[in-house]
Amino acid sequence: MKEPMLVWISKDLKDKLYTIVKAKYQGLRGGLSLEVENAIKFWLERHAHTNAHKTFDPRLSRIEQKLMAILKIMKDEGIVRQFSKRDFEVACARVAGSDPRTIKKYLQWAQRLGLIRHRVGAIWEMMKERDEE
């Protein structure tokens, strides 16, 4: 049984969808529903087996999402400002892996994104998040 569903999308996206559906099905009747259903099914299949317990912001890249998870683990462990490289390595291992190249990548990305900065030696510092300011 089919159910109606009202959604708001950009005019440009709607026009592109209508153009393709009209060309493919010689009209919109039936074809639009079929294509929207297929698109939703495809999206659901791609997202059904992800870790549903993780609440990630879809606007962030995968690296940013993992960095947020790493920093959250550190904050949950009581680290609020300065931390050792080892603290970052332990949190990174729980989220992204313990390979030294992976840890180096996430450390560099966190620094590039302004989430952390190097202080001295093996000491790093968390920067204030935008919503804390």
| pTM reported for the whole predicted model | 0.54
pLDDT of residue 55: 54
Compute the average pLDDT of residues 23-41: 82
pLDDT of residue 133: 40
- Half-sphere exposure of 43 toward its Cβ, with a 13 Å CA cutoff? 6
Go through the chain and tell me how many residues it has: 133
Q: How far apart are CA 6 and CA 31, in angstroms?
A: 17
Domains and CATH numbers, the chain: 11-48 (no CATH), 62-132 (1.10.10)
Integer CA distances (angstroms), 101 to 35, 89, 98, 110, in order: 42, 11, 8, 14
| Residue 54 confidence class, pLDDT cut points 50, 70, 90 | low
Nearest to 91 by CA among 34, 111, 78, 35: 78
Compute the average pLDDT of residues 77-99: 91
